[in-house]
Amino acid sequence: LQHEPAGHLRLEIETQGATDFAQLPMDRLDMYIHASDAVASHLQELLHESLLGIVVHDAQDPTRVHGYLSAHALRAEGYEQSQSLLPYSHRAFQGHRLLHEYFAFPPRFRFFSIQGLASSLQMILGRRLAMTLLLRKAAPDLEPVVDRQNFLLHCTPAINLFERMADRIHVSAGVNEYHVVMERTRPRDFEVYNVLSVTGHQEGQVNDREFVPLYASVHGIRSDDQAYFAVRREPRLFSEHAVRFGPRTQYLGSEVFLSLVDQRAAPFSDDLKQLSVRTLCTNRDLPLLMPINQAGGDFITLDSAPIGAIRTVAGPSRPMGSVAENEITWRLISHLSLNYLAMTDLSEQEGAATLRELMNLYLALGNHVLTGQVAGLKEVSIQPITRRLAQHRQLIYGRGVGITLTVDESSFAGVSAWPLACVLERFFARHVGVNSFTELSLHSRQRGPLATWEARPGQRPNT
């Protein structure tokens, strides 16, 4: 070890039944940090920034060591595109997805994994596994509040978003816009997130008419034979019942309207009788009314599975409105061209102001709890750097972008700035071309340097 450990965290895990760890074909262990925002964020910072290594040893006799893992074995989870919850297009900028998910529900990024356990587990003859995480610094503030209840197994993030066919729409002459309703008997219980496909049905015709999104380019279809659909979203209005007795929650959501046009954007005049609309939708505000922490579990499975119960450990979060509503759209468009070159022309304070303006787009969607975190972003400095990079067992030197983010932790209400900075670290990397890299350093006005991430290759395709 390069440093003498000043603290440690010991985790013990026991298998169920008569199964020994040596029998498990397992190489990684995923965990979720279940705690208050303040405790969870500081625990994340401690584990990811102070970890020296992990010792896998016998639960009864710690001197019987089964293996040693480097600090790189512990990884933050939930940031990769394959682990996304929101369905962003491959053509969309993935950095905005990370910000969207963080501001919608920060606990979604409290997962971590310990990898490379396979060889150590083969040496454990029993049902108990012990791991001691060696830490570079002690955490006296966390010692009295952290226990076994803060580390959970078998957890996964879930999103209230699913495919569903809307009720059939009857096409009428002289009507140029149609309301997409998921279920007419329960219109308040569903909200359209996205329209996936539209199919037109003609009387007496076997072949259906497929509509594509307006401005889409579809190969194999003649330009004079293309049919398109356009979507318009508007805020949901109070129903008569809500006006008299009040809404069931503060979230009303939005409604989606569909129009059909031809290649000249004129109203589509084909002899259609009905429309089938396939959507991604949510249950609007129903999750807020869902009882949680029930004795038998909070959810049921559609298919049979060896599961005792499914319970909610965090959430549900408050629904967030569409980014396409109101004036947010125009503010969002102004950030489509944001890149590090634009921020290098600004002072440290101006760069932070630009970043805060972008963050405020997601605060405007409804999560005002994080307002203090955004206000705590005080300085952003950017400079070119050169680093030695290891690639294909060869040492090469590359030019990249060094970013220093300075925060005022008094605005974070006791929460560590590390989780937000971890999201921004991935966000910045997606603004830099594939032939470069970014390296983010996090500084606090109160505690000084907090973290420096390893150089991350740029993930923006070159054009």
Convert the pLDDT of each residue in 212-240 to its tens digit.
888 766 655 555 567 889 999 998 888 88
Range with top average pLDDT, 328-332, 381-385, 440-444: 440-444
Instruction: Give the pLDDT of residue 96.
Output: 82
Stronger pLDDT, 199 or 344, i.e. the higher one: 199
Q: Is the pLDDT of residue 5 over 70?
A: yes
How confident is residue 366, by pLDDT bands cut at 50, 70 and 90? low
User: How many C-beta neighbours within 10 Å does residue 176 have?
Assistant: 11
| 358's tokens | 């972008």
Decide if 404 contacts 380 (C-beta within 8 A): yes
User: How many C-beta neighbours within 10 Å does residue 175 have?
Assistant: 12
Instruction: Give the pLDDT of residue 335.
Output: 60
pTM, full prediction:
0.89
Decide if 310 contacts 301 (C-beta within 8 A): yes
Instruction: Give the pLDDT of residue 95.
Output: 79
- Interatomic CA distance for residues 6 and 332, integer angstroms: 46
How confident is residue 255, by pLDDT bands cut at 50, 70 and 90? very high
Q: Is the pLDDT of residue 117 over 60?
A: yes
- Interatomic CA distance for residues 207 and 184, integer angstroms: 27
Average pLDDT over the chain, rounded to an integer: 87
Residues paired with 141 in a beta bridge: none
Instruction: Give the pLDDT of residue 182.
Output: 96
- Interatomic CA distance for residues 213 and 456, integer angstroms: 36
Q: What is the pLDDT of residues 27-37, one digit of tens each?
A: 999 999 999 99
**Among 328, 315, 386, which Cα is nearest to 362's?**
328
Q: Which of 148-157, 218-227, 259-268, 379-388 has the lowest mean pLDDT?
A: 218-227
Q: Is the pLDDT of residue 401 over 70?
A: yes
CA dist list (Å): 203 to 94, 207, 270: 43, 10, 11
Q: b/e for 291-322, b at 16 or more Cβ within 10 A?
A: eeeeeeeeeeeeeeeeeeeeebebebbbbbbb
| 444's tokens | 């606090």
Instruction: Give the pLDDT of residue 392.
Output: 63
Q: What is the pLDDT of residues 265-319, one digit of tens each?
A: 566 666 788 999 999 999 999 999 999 988 889 998 888 888 889 999 998 998 8
Stronger pLDDT, 44 or 222, i.e. the higher one: 44
| 36's tokens | 């208050």
How confident is residue 94, by pLDDT bands cut at 50, 70 and 90? confident
How confident is residue 329, by pLDDT bands cut at 50, 70 and 90? low
Stronger pLDDT, 341 or 275, i.e. the higher one: 275
**Among 394, 226, 422, 235, which Cα is nearest to 328's?**
235
